[in-house]
Structure 1
Amino acid sequence: ELLRDAPASALLELPLLHTTSRPQAWPSWAQHNQLDPGALKFGQGFEHLYYLLEAAVAGLGVAIAPQPLVAEDVKAGRLVAPWGFSQTPAQLALWLPKRAADGRARQLAQWLKNELRQAD
């Protein structure tokens, strides 16, 4: 709510929550929005996106996350996306052990693709 009508530069005053697996997410977002990445104030880092999002819901800071993974929370009003979502070169990947390379793995991959397409 705090950021709903604010300019992107309002983030420079807030703790930015982040995942340790994507340290470039906030700097990339800042550059995309004509902000100096060096001016960002990083808050707590999390190993898992789930914990990051729960911290944001709890009011511990501002999070950045892929749209397909937060769409339901935004729709339910648990999270807000004050500036919408931006395209990035980041990709979601499904990694499977070689022994799982059977028909079930392909079915899972196809199901995930279909689900993500429907989320757009």
Structure 2
Amino acid sequence: MAKADPWSVMKVSFLLSIALGICTIVAAAVLWMVMDAMGVFSTVGGTISEATGSNESNGFDLQAFLSLPNVLMFTSIIAVIDVVLATALATLGAFIYNLSAGFVGGVELTLAEDE
């Protein structure tokens, strides 16, 4: 392989990054729902509010901080950043490969048939 077209690499990496971002958001939502159904947030939230509370206040409210909309918003921001970075790094990798392939001639691939 003597050259990788950066435009093709960018399109493919963008589509794969979008798919990975969607999978990340769905996985975060499913994980949050499972943990909420198991009562993890209420148990840990109660312990934290007891530890940080005083007579005048109830302490830190973990359930309000880790609500589903907050978790999905944070996950979406991370997924968008991942899409941009993965696309840029793959395109940059194609440019770097093309530069190095110009010096050394690329990668030689030999295909053999099983007998």
Whether the TM-score (by the shorter chain) exceeds 0.5 is: no
Greater relative contact order: 1 or 2 (C-alpha under 8 angstroms, separation 6 or more)?
2
What TM-score comes out, normalization by structure 1 length? Answer: 0.22
Bigger Rg, structure 1 or 2 = 2
